[in-house]
Structure formats: C-alpha cells, structure tokens
Amino acid sequence: MELRPQFDQFLRDIRPSERHKEEWKMGSRTLRARLMADPDLSPLIVSSFLQGSVRRSTAVRPTGGKRSDVDVVIVTTIDHNAEKPAVAMRRFVPFLNQHYAGKWVQQDRSFGIELSYVDLDLVVTALPADASDRDKLLAIYRSQAVETTASLEERSDWNLSKNWNPDGAVTAFIANDAMPEADWKPHPLMLPDRTVKDWGPTHPLAQIKWTADKNRACNGHYINVVRAMKWWRHEHVDSLPKYPKGYPLEHMIGYVLPDDIKSVAEGVTLAFEGIRDQFRLYALAKTVPFLPDHGVPTHDVLKRLDAADFVAFHAAASAAAGKARRALDSQDAAESGEIWQGLFGKCFPLPGPQGGDRSRGFTSPAIAAQPKTNRFA
C-alpha cells in the first residue's frame, strides 16, 4: 500500500523544521550582506546564492543537537587564468578574521564557518574568463531567480527566468519563460581547489535547475523520495558502507527514477529497484558506474566511491527493493506499515485499526524522528 497519510506524517518529521529554515536564511543573509559591504571584496563580487541540499529541498532534519548546514556560493570576477587558487582564497581571510574570528577554517574548496545556530560553507567561485557572452551570464547570476533564499519546496514555480519574482504568489510553472540554456549552461563557474592547486569547473545552478525540472516531472514527489531514501540510509548506517551518501546518493536516485510517479511510496520502490536493476552488472563486475554531473558532464559523481563500497551498497539497496515492493503491493495495511517501518525506522507511523490509504487511518509516531547518524545530509 502507498499509505499516503503515514508517508505524509513521516516526511513532516524528517524535513528541516521552520526553525532550521530561519537559521540558515538568517546566517546566509548576514554573510552575504557583510561581503557586499566589504570595501575590498564587494567590487569583485557579482552575485551570491544558496546551493546544496538546502536549496534543492532534499535535506533531512539535523538531529542530536547538530546545526543546520548551508552552502553559500560567491560569484566573483577574479581572473582564474591569472590568479592562483591560493591567492584567490587569501583575499577572503581578512574578512573572515574580522567577522568570524575563531569560527572559520579553510577547507580544500571552501571556507567552513561554525556559528552557534548554523554551519556555513563559503564557496568562492569565478565567472569563466572565456565566456562568449559575459553580459548574459552577469544578468543570469544577478537575477532574483538565482539570488533567492527560497528553496524548491517553498517555491514550486521556481524557474531560471529574469521575470521570476520571489516576493509574488506561487504561480503555475511557465516553461517557455526560462532563460535559454545556451546562455548559461555551457559556462560553468570556476572553483579554486587547494589540493590540486588549480581551478576546476563547477555548476551548482545546473544541479538546482535539473532538480526543479525533475521534481515537476515526478509530480512534486522527487525531492521527498530523495529525503525518504536518505533517511533509510541514516536509519541503517551501521550496516551500510560509508559511501555513497549526500549528493552522490541523491544523484543516483535521480538517475534511475522514472518520471510521472504517483506517490512517494511508488517512487521509493522504483528507485530501489532501479538501483538494483540498472547497476546489477556493475556490481557483478565489481566496478563503479560513471555518472556524469548535470552541469559538468566530464565530472563523475561517483568518482570517490570505491568498488567494495559500491558492491555492498548495491546489495543493501537490492534487499530494500524487495521489501519496498512487498510493502507497496500488500493489500494489508498492517503488514505494509510494518515493512515500511522496517525500512525507515520507528519514525514511520503504523496505520491504525482502520488502516489503508485513508486520512483517518494512522497514528502518531511513537518517538521523535532520530536517525543513527548526526550528519545533515
């Protein structure tokens, strides 16, 4: 059974709360405002925007006292052909010492900032120096569609359009209002990498756009399928390999999930079955498939996943596929609920005596949603 009321309750419990949303919005707004007020950095900054699972609405609720976590991308006019990554990163050190002294650390490709209520990742990027039409790129990255703090779940009508207004009412999605992909997609941002001492392409905007389109194609269920499967991974962390998780797992789900799913239960089942069936030969050969990034197709999303972890994950997902199919096909509400709860833990509520896919047939979760890991996916 789809057990829609139970899935609705389950998803309410694993989504970031309103408090978490306000925390990441407040932290990111403060950081962005301070950067634009900095006399040395502001002349270099074209735009800033949120990326990651928070922006794509695929994050699950942080637990165990952990803070919200959000990535803030800073788009600059730094000439990546002339300036070394280390030099570009050092430009931001005085700013960080002034506003976040003792609270920041330099990472390989970003700065981590730990506040009392939110963790921020400051991601410094540069516009491509050789873009054929720089003015169009500037207009796109300065648009409200890019700079908004609204997540895809908050604004289901989000579109990469100069006319999209974050302050207006949610409206129907208008596909032909989008900016032409030729104006922005072939031109990824450049990201400084301290490890390899070079700049490399990154395209978070393409990931956001792909997720928004996929979610609409899946009748609004895609982001919740991702959340549910991330929670499955959290719940079974002790028996699963360390990787894949986070974005690589999300990308795998999007790769195998068909469009036009009718419910989260159906989507979870089809995603597990897709991982089992589409990657079976790779698992048998003990190799890892190449999954191209949505924005930089030469990047392999699973590059850091070793074969042993992939084979172990495939086996676990295959076992979960069988359980999800039994839960979905079962005509007994109690049996179906028990199987779903076995996959997602006690935070998945069991149906009451009336059971089934009826709004009155469920009970509240016995305990608050608490995964076995404290990470914020």
Q: Where in the sequence numbering do the catalytic residues fall? A: 69, 71, 121
Residues 6+ apart with CB under 8 A from 131: 137, 187
Chain-centroid distance of CA 250 in Å reads 7
Q: How many other CB atoms sit within 10 Å of the CB of residue 21? A: 20
Contact between 254 and 240 under an 8 Å Cβ cutoff? The reply is no
Nearest partner of 225 among 122, 123, 344, judged by Cα:
344
Residues 6+ apart with CB under 8 A from 350: 6, 334, 337, 338, 341, 362, 363
Maximum pairwise Cα distance, the chain: 69
Contact between 64 and 374 under an 8 Å Cβ cutoff? The reply is yes
Q: Give the span between the Cα atoms of 376 and 83, in whole angstroms.
A: 34
Contact between 63 and 12 under an 8 Å Cβ cutoff? The reply is no
Q: What is the Rg, in whole angstroms, of the alpha carbon atoms belonging to the chain?
A: 21
359 half-sphere exposure, CB direction, 13 A CA radius: 0
